[in-house]
Amino acid sequence: MRTMMSQLKLTVSEEKTRLCRVPPTRSTSWITTFGRHFSPVTERTYLGSRPSKKSVRRVVRAVTEATARNTTLLNAGMLVEQLNALLRRWAITTVLGPVSRAYRALDARTTRRLRRWLCMKNKDYRTTWSRYPDAVLRHGLLRLRHFTRNLPWATA
């Protein structure tokens, strides 16, 4: 460590430097869960962060409130803008770590709630899938699983 720090032209404080072990349990903040996670791809554990279940539940609740029956007087474009702002704010704060499962779940929930909201607004209670397929909803609604593709990532 000393040689690496000297190459970076940094000094090591001997009295402050110590070895620490990461606890085997996960610690959860209001946005992320940090700790040991299991990767199904590599089949190994790793240290990292992912969106906390409480954070995902909070966003799902906000999407549910935004698409409630009492909001059917809103314009559909305004509702989609409101949902996009909500999803973008949440996605920016939880972009670290493996987020694809949370993003897929939230995408599915948002499209289902928007489809239901459009049926309530137009008083059309037929099969919602045939009336509002994904191709119709994709034109304005933010898809979180495609959100991280456009973010700048550091390359080492």
38 is a domain residue? no
- Mean pLDDT for the chain? 79
The residue segments making up the domain with residue 69 are: 51-148
10 is a domain residue? no
Question: Which pLDDT band holds residue 63 (cuts at 50, 70, 90)?
Answer: very high
pLDDT digits (tens, 9 = 90+) for 90-139: 888 776 666 777 888 888 899 889 888 888 888 877 666 677 777 777 66
Sequence-distant (≥ 6) Cβ neighbours of residue 27 within 8 angstroms: 33, 34, 35
Tally of structural domains, the chain: 1
Question: Which pLDDT band holds residue 49 (cuts at 50, 70, 90)?
Answer: confident
What percentage of the chain has pLDDT greater than the value 70? 79
Q: What pLDDT was estimated at residue 155?
A: 47
15 is a domain residue? no
13 is a domain residue? no
42-76 burial, b for 16+ CB within 10 Å, e for fewer? eeeeeeebbbbeebbeebeebbeebbeeeebeeee
No. of H helices and E strands in the chain? 6, 3
What percentage of the chain has pLDDT greater than the value 90? 12
88 is a domain residue? yes
Q: What is the reported pTM?
A: 0.69
Question: Which pLDDT band holds residue 156 (cuts at 50, 70, 90)?
Answer: very low
